Amino acid sequence: MINLYFVGTAGSGKSTLTSAFKLWMSQQGYDAITVNLDPGAERLQYPADIDVRDWISLPEVMDTHGLGPNGAQIVCADMLALKALEIKEVLDEFESDYALIDTPGQIELFAYRDASKAVLDAFDKKNSLMAFLFDPFLSRSPSGFVSLFMLCTSIQFRIELPFVNILSKVDLLEKEKVEKIVDWSGDPNNLYDALIASSPSMQVQSSIEFFRVLEALDTYKEVIPVSAEKSTGMEDIYNAVQQVFFGGEDLSD
């Protein structure tokens, strides 16, 4: 089973894309299950085959420990590490090719706490892939786009997984802006030129230095434009995953 973790900043569309990609895979005849790892999720847009809320309840943690939502989320993240092997036993009961894993809305809870490493190890890290969602509105400016690349790179080094980059919610942007963002991701020289053309503020100068680091680390990858609302780009995600694990050979063959 391949574990596909959807990771991104709050509001980037992780749950929506998990739902849309699951639906698309079902329509194509591919076998996949959905896993919710966010104990604070109030409502899911898909029926979760495995739901962390069956083990950990954010409201209960808040009541038991007298914590607010943020503090309780941290406690829940640590509790998840203790429940990881138990959840994996349930995961193993499914004979499926893919597990589509929806991560917490607060990205730091998954990316930067040691508890997440316990989850990744328990779920079989060698068969895992990270899909990092680029928020469309943050990606509109060259400096914002670079900052998201830096965040993605930081998480990649933190959790050490292969990854694909996804520009989510492209239906919310004009076509020309989507093409520009994809162009930036496909040709680093164009992004560099866009940064130079921006206002020569301290922010822009910092972005240029960050961009040079990205080039040096060889983590620069083209984004896949996706709309969960219109179900576009799903095949591109699937093909990218196949390329990582099977060199492009279709899993269904």
* pLDDT exceeds cutoff 80 at 201: no
Token code pair at residue 50: 């495995």
Domain ranges in the chain are 2-246
Environment class of residue 150 by beta-carbon count within 10 Å: exposed (0-12), middle (13-18) or buried (19+)? middle
State the CB neighbour count (10 A cutoff) for residue 114.
Answer: 9
pLDDT for 167: 96
Q: Can you give the pLDDT at residue 125?
A: 86
What pLDDT shows up at residue 169?
95
Structure tokens at 8: 């991104």
Q: 228-249: per-residue pLDDT in tens?
A: 999 999 999 999 999 888 775 5
pLDDT at 186: 85
Residues 4-31 have a mean pLDDT of 94
**Segment of 73-82, 167-176, 181-190, 201-210 carrying the highest mean pLDDT:** 167-176
Q: Which CATH number fits domain 2-246: 1.10.3720.10, 3.40.1360.10, 3.90.1170.50, 3.40.50.300?
A: 3.40.50.300
Give how far Cα 160 sits from Cα of 32, 128, 130, 147, 200, Å: 23, 10, 9, 19, 34
pTM score, whole prediction: 0.89
